[in-house]
Chain A
């Protein structure tokens, strides 16, 4: 009953309980270290982080970087100071490359930003030495045709013709006169007129789309023209020239059967309405077809009075 070993064990346990659990010094130090480290990191990273007040544009949030690049492009477009523009691009670091500008240009195009913004970005990208189809669309390189525009008289007006044949462009369009005439003060009149409207048929299958081809005064392909499309309950827009493999002045939009569409050029043109999918002739395949509209830019050089 009074086993000495049992009494000794009981005493020992009572003594240990009175002391409480005992941890080694290393464990206590480690607990303190972890607690201190966690608290200090919370304070240094979240509660009171380092504030950069002398930062460069490279530290800006993406949206502000995009804003910065856009304003940079607009500034360059308005003052033409490429050296300054380069300094500003350099300040953006890796975000100030030509490729980054093109990516922003493409994103802006997808977001439906105004064509003036797209033009500014494209001009900047071109100056930065980027060679890209989308840059060609919104900032086309100077062409002989454009320089000829400054010395040649305007194309004689052609009445819009609605043809439902395979002809893309009217064949009877008079060629511009070769007689140069001095133009004291060019005045641009931004507007488009409908040259032709033809049904698009594909003998291999449905062609449910509206194709738009834009040409300049000399019937040369004209890229970068904004086209507005609307239908009941919706609208969209696109630009010509973004599929250069189909032509510099080409653009298209897919359409749904049983929906009537209206279309016009953003810079001004007549509204082409009641565009809908229609069955093509059996000789053209008999599949549902869309429409191909050709618009001519009527930017003409007018003599100053």
Chain B
């Protein structure tokens, strides 16, 4: 007399996979919702490269002003690099030109021009900030 198996093995396996798969789908959805929306991992350990563009621009102004005081070119370069820009020199020149053309703080413009010049950057709008022939620097 042979026994009849009411649940063939493949049917049992299918049932297991179905339930685990259903649970996994719900778990994945729940996990992504929690991980990306409800409770995202907030990086408070970030570097200046994540700053919003306006803050990056302001950061650049501060780099130039700090350079005007400490005259530490390597430090200024390192600070520019921390913005993780593709072309930091081009960025500095753009910020300098924009700052001059927008007629913002003249002192800061001078700081930007000083730093840009030391880094070998030039734009005609920077001309008024260079010492004119016949004028004494600081005088």
Contact = CB atoms under 8 A, between A and B. Distances in A.
Given A50-B40, A52-B46, A59-B50, A33 B26 contact: yes
Interface residues of A, number: 58
A32 interface: yes
A81 B5 contact: no
Given A52-B46, A54-B52, A64-B47, A35 B23 contact: yes
Contacts of B111: 78-79
A61 interface: yes
A32 B5 contact: no
A64 B84 CA distance: 14
Interface size class of chain B, counting residues whose CB lies under 8 Å from the partner chain? 35 or more
Interface string B93-134: 000000000000101100100000000000000000000000
Contacts of B69: 74, 77-78, 116, 120
B25 A74 contact: no
Contacts of B55: 55-57, 91
A20 B12 contact: yes
Given A55-B51, A59-B43, A71-B62, A78 B23 contact: no
Interface in A2-39: 11, 14-15, 18-20, 22-23, 25, 28-39
B27 A37 contact: yes
Contact of B24 (A35, A41, A49): A35
Q: What is the interface of chain A mostly: helix, strand, loop, or mixed?
A: helix
Given A74-B62, A79-B108, A116-B69, A45 B35 contact: yes
A31 B20 contact: yes
Interface string B31-61: 1101110001111111110111001001101
Nearest to A15: B3
Most buried by B among A25, A28, A32: A32
Contact of A22 (B12, B30, B58): B12
Interface of B: 3, 5, 7, 9, 12, 15-16, 19-32, 34-36, 40-48, 50-52, 55, 58-59, 61-63, 65-66, 68-70, 79, 82, 105, 107-108, 111
Interface of A: 11, 14-15, 18-20, 22-23, 25, 28-41, 43-45, 49-57, 59-61, 64, 67-68, 70-72, 74-75, 77-81, 84, 88, 91, 114, 116-117, 120
Given A44-B31, A74-B66, A78-B107, 9 more contacts: A29-B22, A35-B24, A36-B26, A36-B29, A36-B30, A40-B30, A40-B34, A75-B65, A75-B108
